[in-house]
Structure 1
Amino acid sequence: MAMMKLAVTIKESSLVKPAEATWTGRMPLSEFDMTGTITHVDLLYFYDNKSSTTCFPQNDAASDLLKDSLSRTLVTFYPLAGRLHPKGGGRLELNCNGSGAQFMEAEAETTSLDELSSWFVGADVSGNKPRPSGAEFMPLVPAVDYGSVPIGEWPLLLVQLTRFGCGGFCLGFNMCHAVADGLAAMHFFHEWARVARGEGVGGVGPVFDRRVLRGGQPPLARQPAFDPAQFDHPPVLLHDNDNGIGNAATRLKLTKTQVHTLKEMANKDLSSTLTTRPYTTYETLTAHIWRCACKARKLEPNQLTAVGVCVDARRRVDPPLPDGYFGDAVIDVKATGLSGDLVARPLGYAAGRVREATEKADSEFLWSAIEYMKNQPDLTKFQDFFEEGGEEEEEEPFFGIPNLNVTSWLRLSMLGLDFGFGKEVRMDTTFDFDGDTTLSGSQDGDGSVVISICLRSDHIDGFERCFYDDIFI
């Protein structure tokens, strides 16, 4: 069955600047800001006037409300109105110049959000519904031209309001990860929503000072103890689209009971592991996804495989970062194991491999990683980046068989983004890399978890079968 194509027409594009004069100047970035993903990360929020319990805006009212409240919110979150400034060797500064955030208005040819419903959930196993990859949603995301626009001209925040014929609309956000990680981004979005509701910025204010992570400071005299081998990973056996099959996405829901069952499985025999503390929801679900991916991909038993784990440094470093720290404070670590061991041994084994990787990221590890980065003459090899001309800088990509990445949004306040016209009916993101995975809470608020994963399209069915069948082993 052919995949639907979403046609979107951009009607207007403008820059939204802070409503008042803000501080201007160059702000140093930390090594965490300048490594890993330094391009943009997107989010999609869908709003339906049928489910709204408040006055739903019509015509230009939504864009006027959003642009006005965004302008006022940027007074507090002024770095998002700035631009990156390249210093050479992959190093960057934040140029707080008030250039503004990009705001785009668009119309979708699709008349109703209901027409997109089959895109939000994976096809059934019989293949009666089309399987989307993340690419189908890209027209709803404000685009950044990495190929021809110099890095110093990228808007750090882009917003696209796409209207549907039914009266509902989608808000597509694209925020530069070099300026804000997921926790910081949601801090901003919820404060913007507060302003739009007429409540004003409240709660803990943003802290932009990267000196708490030694941003902009020279390396220390002592040599860092950090082991750069932590950045190594098993080579990708088959890159995206090497065989023309392509990728597809699926979104699978685990009930609160199913999550509990998996945690019982993982913690069944802690005496056989090196830990006595029960495995967390993240460790358990990541282990389960990792094992299912090995089976679905039919990896050889002796195949080394890795799962990327995103670690938040805020409470791991000593001293901990201040509340409201606004920047990128995450580092990726990798858990590795042989496919045969992961599949044949109990779930607790895979969960233990995940824990082993994350527990290495203690304060000493994180400060040592910063010093290691400071001593590097060129950071580009540690960046997921696109050079001018569109070529990827990364020599050997991580995504692809036999690896995967699992990012948790379970502790982020991703849901309930209300700009004054009700909460979203669905939150989503685009992703089309083989092995890219996110965990998020269910829109139902019932304690269930939604797993979104992109795999090679011929591996999706096998993954879905293992994903549910293995819960009851």
Structure 2
Amino acid sequence: MAKLEIISKESIKPSSPTPNNLRTFQLSLIDQFFPPFFRIPLILYYSHDESTSHVKKAEISSLLKKSLSDALTLYYPFAGRLKDERSIDCNDQGVDYLEARVDTRLSEIIEQPKGEVLNKFVPSISEEGGGVLLGIQLNYFNCGGIAIGMSICHTVADGGALSMFVKAWAAMARGDTNKVAPNFVMSSLFPPREAFGPQTSLYIPKHWGKTRRFCFSSSKIAALRAEVGASTGVQPTRVQLVTALVWKWAMARKGRDRSHPSFVWHPVNIRGRMDPPLSEYTFGNAIWRENIAGNGEMDLGELVSKTREAVRKIDSKYLKELQGENVNEMLVGDCKKVTESFFDNEGDYLMIISFCRFPFYESDFGWGKPAWVSTASWGSSNMVVLMDSMSDIGGIEAWITMDEFDTYDEI
């Protein structure tokens, strides 16, 4: 196992103070679904070669810190602290910035990734740590390669917002002056509620699972898509197909009753589904989901159809209803059911999140694009994160966190 040593830690603040009129940032109704302990981890890996890069290894840290400070002037909520369940105090306290030395080569990590090792490349953020909303960790490998690990509080933003933040940060590091500011409209479209369902922050997971990666090649996805298309008459997206495939595998594990109900929570990016569509730079949690119900007796085509139906339901008309006056009454019972089913681990429940098509592989800070992009363990069991494959265009890597994996080595 790779030995890692933290060699420094500091706080990075915005390069310009946040104006007084922006000091209180309102969360949205959707933000309130995500308890403060829920984080999003991301790691960007770079094979840095000083002989071909105009950025020397000794300059990387100062470049990242300076550009991060500049990026935080635009993405200022990240540098604040949660004030209550409705708002962030944008007090410019800053984000954590750590540096670590890893006693191994980058190639060893990429060739045989292990969840427990990757977790070390991502900084911990928690209420105990002062309520930091964003943490960055620069990891140096023996070979000269580096990994930039980051972790954000899910209450504040989703994967789409994180991808736009990374895009802006990388552009500033390269000296790109074409800055695109984030769009802070979610709280006006989906206002927060005073009494919003159960206190989800009290539902701390009782089980912390192990994370494994499963790879689905583009050729396998294409073959399964043709097979499902022939039996159902529909052409699922690769994400819908892999979602159904992972779901079917989870229901077939040892000791599971195939007739027992199973549920999938599959968040969908709603930025392009609103009327009019939202900017891709919309900050916060711009996602929604439908609970998809099934059982292990269904074949792959049936599960794909269930998934497609649920995703297609989240259209502009449906989202308009979520902005109505009666939304609180509609959501309280649903939120309680989802929270208890997921965190109590008593129901057969999966949360499947897709990071596919987010431009993480375009993240060039001045020394080239990433050799690989991964997530790390999200902590809670029954979590699945789908990401684009490293070199196989159209392939998907599924990062699955379970209490146990039984005897199943492949999906």
State the TM-score, normalizing by the size of structure 2. Answer: 0.85
1:191 partner letter:
A
Gap change, CA 1:211 and 1:44, over 3 Å in 2: closer
Identity of aligned residues (%): 27
SS, match of residue 444 in structure 1 = coil
Supply the distance in 1 between the matched residues of 2:137 and 2:329 (Cα, whole angstroms): 39
Partner Cα separation in structure 2 for residue 99 and residue 160 of structure 1: 18
**Aligned in 2, Cα 1:430/1:37: closer, same or farther, shift over 3 Å?**
farther
Question: The residue matched to 1:267 in structure 2 has which SS?
Answer: helix
Partner of 1:116: 109
Does residue 170 in structure 1 map to residue 168 in structure 2? no
Deviation at 1:378, TM superposition (A): 8.6
Select 2:389's aligned residue among 442, 445, 452: 442
What is the distance in 2 between the residues matched to 1:302 and 1:323? 41
Unaligned runs of 5+ in 2: 201-205
1:234 match: none
Tell me whether 1:326 sits opposite 2:326 in the alignment: no
Alpha-carbon distance in 2 for matches of 1:16, 1:448: 36
- C-alpha distance in 1 between matches for 2:227 and 2:351: 22
User: What does residue 406 of structure 1 align with?
Assistant: 352
Query: What is the CA-CA distance between 1:435 and the residue it aligns to?
Result: 2.9
The one of 178, 181, 186 equivalent to 1:205 is 181
1-structure distance, mates of 2:56, 2:347: 46
Residue of structure 2 equivalent to 1:352: 305
How far 1:31 sits from its partner (Å)?
A: 0.5
Q: Does the CA contact (< 8 Å) of 2:134 and 2:152 recur in 1?
A: yes
How many residue pairs match? The answer is: 398
Superposed CA offset, 1:334-381 (max 9, x none) = 2111212x2xx3x221111112222333344434445556459999x7
Secondary structure at the aligned position of 1:187 is classed as helix
Does 2:116 correspond to 1:135? yes
Q: Is the 8 A contact 1:7 1:139 kept in 2?
A: no
C-alpha displacement of 1:315: 2.8
Are positions 1:451 and 2:392 aligned together?
Answer: no
Query: Partner amino acid for 1:429?
Result: T
In structure 1, what is the Cα distance between the partners aligned to 2:336 and 2:96?
A: 28
Letter in 2 for 1:178: T
- Counterpart of 2:165? 188
Distance 1:52 1:367, change over 3 A: farther
Q: Give the 3 Å change call, closer, same or farther, for CA 348–418 of structure 1 in structure 2.
A: same
1:257-301 CA distances to partner (integer Å, 9 max, x unpaired)? Answer: 221111111111336xxxxx5322222221122112222345222
- For residue 78 of structure 1, what is the aligned residue in structure 2? 76
Q: By how many angstroms is 1:323 displaced? A: 4.5
Distance 2:34 2:305 in 1: 25
**Structure 2 match to 1:16:** 12
Find the partner of 2:273 among 316, 321, 326: 316
CA separation in 2, counterparts of 1:437 and 1:155? 25
Structure 1 residues 310 and 297, CA gap change in structure 2 (3 angstroms): farther
Deviation for aligned residue 1:75: 1.8
Select the residue among 90, 95, 99 that pairs with 1:96: 90
Q: 1:136 to 1:199 in 2, by over 3 A?
A: same
Gaps of 5+ in 1: 121-131, 220-227, 232-238, 242-246, 272-276, 385-392, 468-473
What is the CA–CA distance in structure 2 between the aligned matches of 1:457 and 1:265, rounded to whole Å?
A: 30
Which of 333, 338, 361 in structure 2 is aligned with 1:415? 361
Cα distance in 2 between the residues matched to 1:255 and 1:332: 26
Is residue 13–residue 72 contact of structure 2 (8 Å, CA) maintained in 1? yes
Contact 1:80 1:156 in 2 (8 A): yes
Are residue 301 (structure 1) and residue 297 (structure 2) matched?
no
Residue 236 of structure 1 corresponds to none
Of 291-300 and 94-103, more deviation after overlay is shown by 291-300
The alpha-carbon distance between structure 1 residues 52 and 23, as it changes in their structure 2 partners (threshold 3 A), is farther
Which of 28, 31, 36 is the matching residue for 1:30?
Answer: 28
CA distance in 1, matches of 2:293, 2:331: 28
Letter in 2 for 1:23: P
CA contact (8 A) 1:292 1:463 kept: no
- In the alignment, the residues of structure 2 paired with residue 207 and residue 383 of structure 1 have an alpha-carbon distance, to the nearest angstrom, of 32
Q: Deviation per CA, 1:103-128, whole angstroms, max 9, x where unpaired?
A: 112222x23223434542xxxxxxxx
**1:302 alignment partner, SS class:** coil
Is the 8 Å Cα contact of residues 305 and 402 (structure 1) preserved in structure 2?
yes
Please give the alpha-carbon distance, in whole angstroms, between the structure 1 residues aligned to 2:357 and 2:384: 16
Residues 211 and 304 of structure 1: CA distance in aligned 2, closer, same or farther (over 3 Å): closer
Q: Residues 401 and 435 of structure 1 are in contact (CA less than 8 Å); yes or no, is this contact kept in structure 2?
A: no
CA distance in structure 1 between the aligned counterparts of 2:213 and 2:330, rounded to whole angstroms: 40
What root-mean-square deviation, in Å, do the aligned CA atoms of Structure 1 and Structure 2 show?
3.2
Quote how far apart the aligned CAs of 1:51 are.
Answer: 9.6
2:29–2:187: 8 Å Cα contact kept in structure 1? Answer: no
Q: Distance in 2 between the 1:437 and 1:377 partners?
A: 24
